[in-house]
Amino acid sequence: MSVVLITGAATGIGNHTAKALAVDGHTVYASMRDPWGRDAEHAEEAIAFAEREYVDLRVIALDVTSQESADKAVQAILDATGRLDVVVHNAGHLAIGYVEAFPVEDVGHLIDINALGAHRVNRAALPHMREMRSGVLLYVGSTIGVTTPPFLGPYVVAKAAFDALAVVTSYETHPFGIETSIVMPGVIVRGTQHFPDAAQATDHEVTAAYAELDPLVARNEEATMGLFPPGVVSGPEGVAREISRVLALPFGHKPFRTVVDDTESGVDKVNETAQLAREDFVTRMGYSELLVPAQH
């Protein structure tokens, strides 16, 4: 069994994944920004779950916008267990509004959370994984980089950066026997605080200039729900099950990408075509060995 760190595990996908992996028998560190303060209720619930189910689920503080916090969390795990086998990059934040109405600083902050946050955690965890010449970086991405729905612009940009980070990092970690998987959920409409906690555009003057589009924004939730087949309402449980499945696969058999999407958006087909093109391009450059993790 593995020692697993999950970012953004207070609620939603991260919370369900932490519980699922703990039940699988892993030692799981469910990280939250402030487990003894604003996230105390979620931390207490996770600890109670561990006691009730007799699983090894632990809570740890980690703010992905701070390198010091990431370093401290990873070191605490290493001090306690002597190893870190898996990092599940799940922390993220949604934003809703007209792109122009988000000041550059707000867009930058969203990229900081969604993409640079994963990079900070990688910088904390990879020295150990490289030394061990093993490990798994699992990124909870999104189909949104392909589907690019309207009125979520800065979030789409941030998740696209997150996805690209996962790909380019994999070239340099594969030679050290470190595997990469990108799990791409579709729309999740229940069981998460993603939408209720979403950031809003802060330039109200610009927002007002787009007022004629407000009716389109107002029916965004209805339009999103209309993507699902009758009787289907996606929650985070399916993503947690897929992460559990991927991590259970033997070395060299984990998919680089996998999609969990009840809206049948066709993203898996796009992924297949893009993957073939990328593999061909990198192979023709003479770097085919960087496409798969090395066995040590």
Instruction: List pLDDT tens digits, range 244-266.
Output: 999 999 999 999 999 999 888 99
Mean pLDDT of 147-152: 93
pLDDT in the model for residue 225: 82
Confidence tier at 281 by pLDDT (50, 70, 90): very high
155 is an active site residue:
yes
Mean pLDDT of 218-242: 84
Catalytic, out of 29, 139, 155, 171: 155
The yes-or-no verdict on residue 131 having pLDDT over 80 is yes
Residue 177 and residue 170: Cα distance in Å, rounded? Answer: 10
Strand partners, 86: 4, 136
Instruction: List pLDDT tens digits, range 28-40.
Output: 999 999 999 999 9
SS3 195: coil
pLDDT in the model for residue 266: 93
Instruction: List pLDDT tens digits, range 165-220.
Output: 999 999 999 999 999 999 999 987 765 555 666 778 899 999 999 999 999 988 88
Are residues 21 and 196 in contact, defined by beta-carbon separation less than 8 angstroms? no
Averaged confidence pLDDT in the chain: 94
In the chain, what are the domain boundaries? 3-291
pLDDT in the model for residue 191: 53
Instruction: List pLDDT tens digits, range 49-72.
Output: 999 999 999 999 999 999 999 999
Beta strands 178-185 and 135-140, pairing class: parallel
Residue 268 and residue 183: Cα distance in Å, rounded? Answer: 11
Query: Could you say which architecture CATH assigns to the domain 3-291?
Result: 3-Layer(aba) Sandwich (3.40)
The yes-or-no verdict on residue 127 having pLDDT over 90 is yes
Biggest alpha carbon–alpha carbon distance for the chain = 59
pLDDT in the model for residue 116: 98
Mean pLDDT of 139-145: 96
Residue 177 and residue 148: Cα distance in Å, rounded? Answer: 33
The yes-or-no verdict on residue 232 having pLDDT over 80 is no
pLDDT in the model for residue 192: 58
The closest alpha carbon to 64, from 116, 139, 1, belongs to 116
The yes-or-no verdict on residue 1 having pLDDT over 60 is yes
The closest alpha carbon to 137, from 156, 152, 122, 154, belongs to 122
The yes-or-no verdict on residue 75 having pLDDT over 60 is yes
